[in-house]
């Protein structure tokens, strides 16, 4: 189905991105600095930052910018985080309002140092956004909260429109990204529990780290057994020399094939392309899922 040829040494032309030049990019950057906010766009070195900020949208990163875990693929700063920032929920809501956002995506670093993993702060941010922007839709991309069902319920009780939790890679690759294989099962459990609690669920997969075709198909199957509704698939890009290297650059046509296959597994919608990330085209995915449920 997919080419076996590896291209780990040279980034292909289809992964080139534009440098920022539009005034909206700099307006967005200035607003985020003014509000003292972090974004996953910056912290994870997202290749779509120019496109998104030019369109005056961003994925807010709450609970600081330092992660308590040490995943080998990730560019986010790792270490001992400081206390959760004060008044962060209000600042996120103020920024979203000034950006005229009607669909807001909120994620966080993993905070294993907090008793609830930061679940309260997610809930507070969702509620504050809705108070500030009547009718706003909110998608959250959460960590696994160490599998704590009460922490998960804290978030779901305030009714996020989409609850996203990424598997990141197939189970067989978890050791290579510095995660225990048991974490894969725990993440599936988070998605399954969230669905059982009545929310629309979403997950994301990076490819290009050495997975096989069978690995990918098994991951699709596992996600659908957990009743996951939405899926994003994107090319892994090595953010730095200390991160795990790329094993393969998938051409765009193979991402098209993967989308067709994933849809056949029963996902309501799938975004699959080299530069797709968790929040890419998030609002349209939400609308697509909503439309299918209405029929």
Q: Which residues contact 111 (CB under 8 A, 6 or more apart)?
A: 63, 64, 67, 68, 81, 84, 117, 118, 143
Give pLDDT, residue 123.
Answer: 98
183 part of a folded domain: yes
Give pLDDT, residue 295.
Answer: 66
1 part of a folded domain: no
Specify the DSSP class assigned to residue 168: B
Specify the DSSP class assigned to residue 147: G
- The Cα-based distances of 117 to 9, 43, 149, 169, 234 in angstroms read 38, 19, 11, 22, 27
Give the end of a domain, one of 104, 128, 160: 160
Give pLDDT, residue 230.
Answer: 98
Judged against a pLDDT cut of 60, whether residue 4 lies above it is answered with no
Token pair belonging to 49: 């930052």
- Looking at the structure, tell me whether residues 49 and 151 fall in a common domain: yes
Cβ 189 vs Cβ 225: under 8 Å: no
- Looking at the structure, tell me whether residues 126 and 208 fall in a common domain: no
- Looking at the structure, tell me whether residues 156 and 169 fall in a common domain: no
- Looking at the structure, tell me whether residues 265 and 278 fall in a common domain: yes
Smallest CA-to-CA distance from 25 within 50, 42, 61 is with 50
Tally of domains within the chain: 2
Residue reference for tokens 């920022």: 20
CA 27 vs. chain centroid, Å, equals 24
82 part of a folded domain: yes
Give pLDDT, residue 19.
Answer: 74
Token pair belonging to 62: 């709450």
7 part of a folded domain: no
Specify the DSSP class assigned to residue 114: S
- Looking at the structure, tell me whether residues 229 and 110 fall in a common domain: no
- Looking at the structure, tell me whether residues 220 and 271 fall in a common domain: yes
With residue 216 as reference, give the H or E element that holds it: helix 213-225
Q: How confident is the model at residue 184 (pLDDT cuts 50, 70, 90)?
A: very high
10 part of a folded domain: no
Give pLDDT, residue 5.
Answer: 55
pLDDT digits (tens, 9 = 90+) for 156-180: 999 999 999 999 999 999 999 999 8
- Looking at the structure, tell me whether residues 178 and 88 fall in a common domain: no
Domain holding 82, by residue range, is 17-160
Give pLDDT, residue 7.
Answer: 58
289 part of a folded domain: yes
Q: Counting beta carbons within 10 angstroms of the beta carbon of residue 197, is it exposed (0 to 12), middle (13 to 18) or buried (19 or more)?
A: middle
Mean pLDDT, residues 229-244 taken together: 94
- Looking at the structure, tell me whether residues 196 and 139 fall in a common domain: no
- Looking at the structure, tell me whether residues 205 and 102 fall in a common domain: no
5 part of a folded domain: no
pLDDT digits (tens, 9 = 90+) for 258-290: 999 999 999 999 999 999 999 989 999 999 988
The rounded distance, in Å, linking the Cα atoms of 44 and 31 is: 19
Give the end of a domain, one of 117, 140, 160: 160
Are β-strands 38-39 and 59-62 bridged in parallel, bridged antiparallel, or unpaired?
Answer: antiparallel
Lowest mean pLDDT among 36-50, 174-188, 240-254, 275-289: 36-50
CATH no. for residue 231? 3.30.750.200
Q: How confident is the model at residue 1 (pLDDT cuts 50, 70, 90)?
A: low
Give the end of a domain, one of 160, 182, 211: 160
- Looking at the structure, tell me whether residues 141 and 156 fall in a common domain: yes
Smallest CA-to-CA distance from 14 within 251, 285, 276, 295 is with 251
- Looking at the structure, tell me whether residues 181 and 294 fall in a common domain: yes
**Residues forming a β-bridge with 66:** 77
pLDDT digits (tens, 9 = 90+) for 53-109: 888 788 999 999 999 999 988 888 899 988 998 899 999 999 999 999 999 999 999
pLDDT > 90: percent of the chain: 72
- Is the dihedral angle over the CA atoms 108, 58, 239, 281 positive or is it negative? positive
């Amino acid at each position: 189905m997919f080419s076996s040829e590896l291209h780990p040494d040279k980034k292909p032309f289809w992964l080139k991105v534009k440098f920022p030049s539009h005034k909206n990019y700099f307006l967005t950057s200035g607003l985020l600095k003014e509000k003292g906010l972090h974004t996953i766009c910056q912290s994870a070195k997202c290749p779509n930052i120019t496109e998104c900020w030019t369109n005056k949208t961003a994925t807010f990163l709450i609970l600081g910018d330092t992660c308590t875990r040490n995943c080998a693929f990730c560019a986010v700063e790792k270490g001992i985080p400081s206390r959760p920032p004060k008044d962060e929920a209000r600042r996120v809501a103020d920024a979203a309002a000034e950006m005229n956002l009607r669909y807001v995506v909120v994620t966080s670093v993993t905070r294993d140092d907090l008793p609830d993993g930061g679940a309260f702060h997610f809930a507070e941010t969702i509620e504050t956004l809705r108070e500030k922007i009547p009718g706003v839709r909110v998608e959250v991309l959460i960590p696994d909260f160490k599998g704590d069902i009460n922490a998960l319920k804290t978030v779901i009780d305030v009714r996020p429109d989409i609850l996203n939790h990424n598997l990141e890679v197939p189970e067989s690759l978890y050791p290579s990204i510095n995660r225990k294989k048991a974490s894969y099962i725990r993440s599936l459990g988070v998605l399954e529990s969230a669905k059982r609690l009545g929310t629309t669920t979403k997950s994301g997969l990076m490819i290009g780290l050495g997975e096989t075709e069978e690995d990918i198909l098994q991951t699709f199957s596992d996600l659908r057994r957990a009743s996951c509704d939405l899926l994003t698939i994107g090319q892994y890009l090595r953010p730095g020399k200390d991160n795990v290297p790329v094993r393969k650059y998938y051409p765009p046509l193979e991402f098209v094939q993967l989308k067709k296959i994933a849809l056949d597994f029963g996902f309501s919608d799938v975004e699959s392309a080299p530069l797709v990330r968790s929040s890419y085209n998030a609002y349209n995915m939400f609308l697509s899922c909503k439309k299918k449920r209405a029929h």
